[in-house]
Amino acid sequence: MLKFIFFRMLQAIPVLLIVIAVTFILIRQAPGGPFDSEKAVSPYVLEKLNERYHLDDPLYQQFFDYLGNAVTGDFGPSFKYPTRSVSEMIFTGLPITFELAINAMVVALIIGISAGLIAALRPNTAQDYIPMSAAMIGICMPSFLMGPLLVLVFGIWLEWLPVSGWGYSAGDKILPSITLGATYAAYIARLSRGGMLEILSQDFIRTARAKGIPEHIILFKHALRGGLLPVVSFLGPAIAGLLSGSFVVETIFQIPGLGRFYVQAAFNRDYTMIMGTTIFFSVLIILFNLLSDIIAVMLNPRLSYGDKN
């Protein structure tokens, strides 16, 4: 396994380098710069600003300077927020986005797996159709619709929950977590239903039933492990997606997480911030994919690290 991890890490280096280079070139190609504003900045001030951030150096030199600094963990100051460093901003936003993603994942797993199980127990009956239709709606309903709907019902009509914030008042984490988790719950419901149906129709389950093993033991001990395999391989990309895709939910609920910085940085042409967050998210996605491969091998004895490699 260690060898497997080592080789995967090795593969990650060129991937990261390509990501950095492409991002660096693309953001410089975008028209407009970090210091353009509605009230024109005088050429004199602009010159000073470019000098300060070394934007007047040749592009290749800026690139290698950046790379050199990035290796030592220095991602520079943000252009938009000059008193904050990119690392500071990432590590301020990250714990919040991470907590949001984990909460959403827990919501998604609880709702998704139980709905999938319930559906799989009686395929093609109402007990299957109702949760699965709900799941379909969940997949189709974007979070920018789901969020405001939940806010309207639970925040404004019923007045049970706060409509925004993160840790400002009790219960303000509930609605964002459900909103972000809902779409993933729906995927997980469909995946676990499919996985369970496949496993439940297999010979070893029939054998177990023939032996007279109680149904709940069959279900939880024999079937669930295999039935959830598709869910596990979905988890890696899903967590990465939750982390990098939390932008919409963070905006709806005014959560000071990383997702908002990521998107706003692009609009602001905040070069250092774009680079920093892109590198950071790339590393995360690589790590989570690796992790889900490892878990998949652990759950499924038919796979080995060699296959995955």
Partner 1 sequence: MKNLLRRCWLLGLFFLLCSCGPMESNLDSATDAQILHLGNGTEPQGLDPHLATGVPEHNIIAALLEGLVGENPKDLSPAPGAAHSWEISNDLLTYTFHLNPQAKWSNGDPVTADDFVYSWKRLLMPDLAAEYAYQLFVVKNAREFNQGKIQDFNQVGAKALDRLTFEVQLEAPTPYFLSLLSHYSTFPVHRETIEKFGAIDDPGSLWTRAENFVGNGPFILAEWALNRIIRVEKNPHYWDSDTVTLNEIRFYPIDNGVTEERMFRSRTLHITSTVPAEKIEKYRQKSPELLNISPYLGTYFYRFNVNKPPLDDPRVRKALAMSIDRLKIVEAITKGGQIPAYNLTPANTLGYTSESTIVFDVEQAKLLLAEAGYSGGVGFPEINILYNTSEGHRKIAVALQQMWKQALSIDLKLYNQDWKSFLFTVSNMDYEIARGSWIGDYVDPNTFLDMFVSGGGNNQTGFSNAEYDRSIRSAAKTIDMKQRYEYFQRAEKILTDQVPVMPIYTYTKLYLKAPELKGWHNNILDHHPYKYIYLEKTD
In whole angstroms, how close is the CB of 137 to partner 1 at the nearest point?
Answer: 16
Beta bridge partners of 85: 77
The residue (of 4 and 81) whose beta carbon lies closer to partner 1 is: 81
- Cα 205 from Cα 219, distance rounded (Å): 9
The residue (of 216 and 302) whose beta carbon lies closer to partner 1 is: 216
The residue (of 194 and 295) whose beta carbon lies closer to partner 1 is: 194
- Cα 145 from Cα 141, distance rounded (Å): 7
In whole angstroms, how close is the CB of 187 to partner 1 at the nearest point?
Answer: 17
The residue (of 250 and 293) whose beta carbon lies closer to partner 1 is: 250
Residue found under tokens 């219960």: 171
In whole angstroms, how close is the CB of 139 to partner 1 at the nearest point?
Answer: 19
In whole angstroms, how close is the CB of 297 to partner 1 at the nearest point?
Answer: 29
In whole angstroms, how close is the CB of 154 to partner 1 at the nearest point?
Answer: 7
Nearest CA to 166 out of 84, 86, 246 is that of 246
Q: Which residues bind partner 1 (CB under 8 A)?
A: 30-33, 36-45, 48-49, 52, 77, 80-84, 88-89, 92-93, 110-111, 114-115, 117-118, 121-122, 127, 148, 151, 154-156, 158-165, 168-171, 174, 178, 215-216, 219, 251-254, 256, 260-261, 267-269
- Cα 82 from Cα 80, distance rounded (Å): 6
The residue (of 48 and 206) whose beta carbon lies closer to partner 1 is: 48
Looking at residue 40, its amino acid is A
- Cα 151 from Cα 245, distance rounded (Å): 20
- Cα 167 from Cα 151, distance rounded (Å): 17
Instruction: Please tell me what DSSP assigns to residue 42.
Output: P
